[in-house]
Structure 1
């Protein structure tokens, strides 16, 4: 018997599981300065301060009246620095920056009946060495960069090893790093047409990922494994053309290689490609108005979503977008 229709015995139209009053406060301040060391050499330095606060008063938990409070506070100073050398046809640069995330997440992940929380803020230290340039009277331009980043206290969700607590534990303390290459080339054979090709290579790794065993089972060490859902190779290509002053169009192609779908790296799949189309119309008598029609996944490619109950089995695959037809209007005033 199907119970997904009104009138069936088990049909539920609405069931309140959680009710809460939430207050979020965010503060930030940023400064940056550029220093000319010579005619060609420039130093950029900066820092950002962030503070996050959250207070939640729960009045309903697991569909029952209950009064509980959850609160959190997180702050950090994130520095940045970059050194750039101007060439005749571009520049080379080296940069460092720190990223910060409070790890608060959505409010429903603080619900004490479903989630236990053992978290700390996430910090990402990123290093980049790059080269940008152009030639042929700006018809050909390129950007390429080598990067390395290291993340501490990365947030993950696991089965709660405490049998007396909520079923899911939001935890940090894990260490993650990634290195790779990004390269992009733009070519404009004529004024009205532009070609773009972008390639990304990613090599992420869990530097430290040790999950506590449940019900007395030994800990599982996933250190050295590749994170889930990260393709090693990504290609993006696009051609855009101005048919007239009123009509512009673009066609893009995306390709993602296979990636691991489980923490133990026993299953690698998920490779897919997408094609997208966009057409814009600008009324000749109203330059402040524009209409855009876009279609994602033009070929209507199918995707599969895998799931399982074990944290070390197949737990997620990143699906591609469905076919979507969007009509938008832009008004400038």
Structure 2
């Protein structure tokens, strides 16, 4: 919930990631290949990226009846995609020449503040707002050859204020009820704006004009302490999203031939769901949790000529996972902290759509873990392994597989 207190009076976080080798190779004309090794020419798409983020947050407690939380966050991300002809599509080192390049950058600066006002021991009001300034930089696109191009897209800046308000009622020491409303500003993924998918990925082209999604969320729920060691939370929510980003096929006029595919802003989504969270504490050091959410999304939008967007009215949105499940164990003793987490997300596509290939949104079950050590009360070093069993699945693109992360956190 947006109105939960932070654990520390002052908190700063920073992170940086640089992926130098991200990319894929593909066959140019698979139907012409012969032989058991499927040898042949192809292309190599290399799309390294950089991400940098920083957040600083401060909480002021017991200012009369107020508790105020405020902060600033900054996020910057950039990518450059280079595409090459290969003499052997199995070998990304068999480069003949570079034939295309795409690049772009996004930045997001956010300022947020929230005030908790306690009327008395039973009633609390939470009021807050977040200001986002999101900037898409100029995109650059180049390709050689007969159908080549050399062009740029104009950057654009978005400014948006997202309000949040919640009312909480503490019926007794073991039972809380709340109702809340909030808005959110969701910038599109970087690769949807700037990256060319290539013929091997279905001829997906960039959309530098893609706008952020704007969502409104209503929620009502309860929090109950069943025993000294057991807690149960239940919430009902509804989310309305405008300018929904949709993966769209564009056909040749009066034809079923796909000329290209592109992510566009299309229609509205209405999502409803219920979430249950149960926590049990075995002792002062070991606790467990189980979280389950069921949800259903419906999408509406007008007909767009020569596309697969034929006009919908409350049609099922298969991009919304119907089932989300989390469970795990958390350990915290002296200087050591550890977590074992399991998560399941159901498929996010029509049951008749193919899975296990580019463009699919497969269901998946992952096991993740992390171990941390408090060097001092304020300084923590943590090592994490995501996707321990190296599960392979597609979330539109092939996912990263087993991932190792070493991080530090400083609180003051």
* TM-score relative to the length of structure 2: 0.60
* Residue in structure 2 matched with residue 313 of structure 1 by the alignment: none
Distance of 1:187 and 1:93 partners within structure 2: 22
Deviations 1:81-107 (A, max 9, x none): 111112222421100011123548455
Work out which of the residue numbers 111, 123, 130 in structure 1 matches 2:221: 130
Deviations 1:287-310 (A, max 9, x none): 677654544444454x454xxxxx
Alignment pair present for 1:266 and 2:352: yes
Deviates most, 84-93 or 219-228: 219-228
Count of residue pairs brought into register by the alignment: 307
Please give the residue correspondences for 1:247-258 in structure 2 after superposition, counting only pairs within 5 Å: 248-257=337-346
What do you get for the CA RMSD once the two structures are aligned? 4.1
* Residue in structure 1 matched with residue 185 of structure 2 by the alignment: 100
Counterpart contact for 1:296–1:321, Cα < 8 Å = no
Distance of 1:74 and 1:110 partners within structure 2: 24
Counterpart contact for 1:75–1:102, Cα < 8 Å = no
Distance of 1:47 and 1:251 partners within structure 2: 34
Alignment pair present for 1:76 and 2:160: yes
- 1:249 deviates by 3.9
- 1:71 deviates by 3.0
Distance of 1:180 and 1:45 partners within structure 2: 24
1:49 to 1:167, Cα distance in 2 relative to 1, 3 A: same
* Residue in structure 2 matched with residue 142 of structure 1 by the alignment: 232
Counterpart contact for 2:300–2:311, Cα < 8 Å = no
Counterpart contact for 1:115–1:167, Cα < 8 Å = no
Counterpart contact for 1:291–1:327, Cα < 8 Å = no
Distance of 1:233 and 1:104 partners within structure 2: 23
SS of residue paired to 2:276: strand
Distance of 2:324 and 2:368 partners within structure 1: 16
Please give the residue correspondences for 1:106-121 in structure 2 after superposition, counting only pairs within 5 Å: 106=191, 108-109=194-195, 114-115=205-206, 119-121=210-212
1:209 to 1:38, Cα distance in 2 relative to 1, 3 A: farther
Distance of 1:329 and 1:83 partners within structure 2: 36
- 1:154 deviates by 0.6
- 1:40 deviates by 1.7
Counterpart contact for 1:229–1:317, Cα < 8 Å = no
Distance of 2:386 and 2:108 partners within structure 1: 35
Counterpart contact for 1:158–1:168, Cα < 8 Å = yes
Please give the residue correspondences for 1:200-219 in structure 2 after superposition, counting only pairs within 5 Å: 200-208=293-301, 210-214=303-307
SS of residue paired to 1:145: strand
Distance of 2:189 and 2:335 partners within structure 1: 46
Structure 1: unaligned runs, 5 residues or longer: 306-315
* Residue in structure 2 matched with residue 322 of structure 1 by the alignment: 401
Distance of 2:247 and 2:190 partners within structure 1: 12
Structure 2: unaligned runs, 5 residues or longer: 1-38, 45-83, 89-93, 198-203, 254-258, 356-361
* Residue in structure 2 matched with residue 153 of structure 1 by the alignment: 243
- 1:49 deviates by 3.4
- 1:201 deviates by 1.0
* Residue in structure 1 matched with residue 126 of structure 2 by the alignment: 44
